[in-house]
Amino acid sequence: MNRPSQLGFAFPKPGRGLKGVLIALLVVGVVESLLFDQLGLARVFSWLVCDTNAVLHGQVWRLFTAGFLTDPHRIAPLLFTLVGLYFFSPDLESRWGTPRFLRFLAWSTIVGFSLGVLIDGLAPESLLLFHPGPMFGAVSAIVATSVAWARANANAQVRLFLVFPITGRAFLWITVLYCVANLVWPGLPEGVVAPFGGLAAGMLLSGDPSPLRRAYLKAKLRYLRRNAGNTPTAHEIVFGRPAETKKKARRASGPALRVLPGGLDEDLSKRDPPKDKRYLN
């Protein structure tokens, strides 16, 4: 029976992409805390949070910028964001590379708030749980990175809170329970729906290749097979098929073989036999 491999405890070394994200979050959080009530920063904050009515009227940048904001009057959410991203992201960035890792964070944030906006617009007004008002925070990205790390290290063993040994597969279910628990005890500024958006993004966008990319490649392969032999090249699209190709096509449409008269036997039959027949043998 194969035992799960155990990962020794060590502070992971963040890559360039994660360093940039953590520094940006820290700077924004400190500036919010110090200057929120000064220099009109509260008004800037209101332009960046994810507001359903504003997003539906075209201010789609809020789906991304809201992920960089934290509660300006409390330090705990900022610390939770920094620690949550720090512990699981270095492994993902080393596996995927910085560009894919940054795209993953961006899309998980956008998917999380998009799902929150969708449910906010569709849910009845009586269900106040699904109408959180302005949404902000990085919980969607944290949930997505947790799911991606758990899937990549399903059989590896880590110590939760540095004490309890669990596998990556078990940690995945803990992440799911965290999202469900938020429905029972709401309190996140992201709302109760955005974490499920991060959960979906983590499942669809992680892996090598990810389920979403695998589905795209399969669809592309079916399309290429269906159109094999009939797909023109870029040169043919612009200039048309060359004349030589057209001649070959016409030649291929005619009879494959023809019998021509003549040959060696016919030529010999028309000659007179030699007088000296010693040379026939």
Domain locations along the chain:
16-222
More confident call, 237 vs 132: 132
pLDDT above 80: residue 158: no
> On the CB side of 82, how many CA atoms lie within 13 Å of its CA?
17
The string of pLDDT tens digits covering residues 205-250 is: 998 889 999 999 999 988 888 887 655 555 554 455 555 554 554 5
Tokens found for residue 206: 């992680």
Residue 176 CA to residue 32 CA, distance in Å, equals 31
Q: What is the pLDDT of residue 237?
A: 47
Token pair of 92 as six digits:
């993902």
What does the pLDDT look like over 184-205, one tens digit per residue?
Answer: 999 899 999 999 999 999 999 9
Instruction: Tell whether the model's pLDDT for residue 270 goes beyond 70.
Output: no
Q: Which amino acid is at 225?
A: R
Of 3.40.630.10, 1.10.287.130, 3.40.50.300, 1.20.1540.10, the CATH number of 16-222 is 1.20.1540.10
276-280: average pLDDT: 56
**pLDDT score at 159:** 73
- pLDDT of 2 reads 53
pLDDT tens for each residue of 6-24:
555 567 789 999 999 999 9
Name the pTM for this structure.
Answer: 0.76
Task: List Cβ neighbours of 88 (8 Å cut-off, separation of 6 or more).
Answer: 145, 146, 148, 149
Start-end of H helices in 41-157? 41-48, 52-56, 62-65, 76-96, 98-122, 139-152
SS (H, E, C) 188-200: CCCCCCHHHHHHH
Identity (one letter) of the amino acid at 151?
Answer: R
Does the structure show a pLDDT above 70 at 252?
A: no
Please count the other Cβ atoms lying within 10 Å of the Cβ belonging to residue 87: 16
The torsion angle over the Cα atoms of residues 138, 207, 11 and 98, rounded to 10 degrees, is -70
Q: Give tens-digit pLDDT for 49-108.
A: 999 999 999 999 999 999 999 998 889 999 999 999 998 899 999 999 999 999 999 999
Alpha carbon 141 to chain centroid, angstroms: 13
pLDDT top residue among 164 and 66:
66
